[in-house]
Amino acid sequence: MTATATPTKQRNYRATFILDNRGKEESIDQIVEGVKKVIAEVKGEVTAVDNIGKKDFIRVTDKKLTGANYVHINFTAPGEAPAQLRERLRLNSSVYRTFIQSA
């Protein structure tokens, strides 16, 4: 008997990232490229990137950060990818918040 690997089903996701580049030399585009690389590492494929720009927060949790850049990224990936993506980006100080939803 040979075990055949069943292909994992690709799902569509829309992720919103709040990016923080205070005191860093990285531009927003460089941070987005880094996020796209992490998506590729979790076997995802980016289909669209929409840079919303800088927006002020409605509820400020840090008085030094009253607003940040928002970026929407649409991608396809296996079902376990969102959890892996959140875990990898949690360590990245340039990504302030991550919201991932099924598209």
Digit-coded pLDDT (tens) for 10-62:
999 999 999 988 888 888 999 999 999 999 999 999 999 999 999 998 888 88
Beta-carbon count within 10 A of 17 CB: 23
Domain 11-102: what homologous superfamily?
Answer: Ribosomal protein S6/Translation elongation factor EF1B (3.30.70.60)
Write down the pTM of the prediction. 0.84
Token reading at 94: 């340039």
pLDDT at 23: 82
Domain ranges of the chain: 11-102
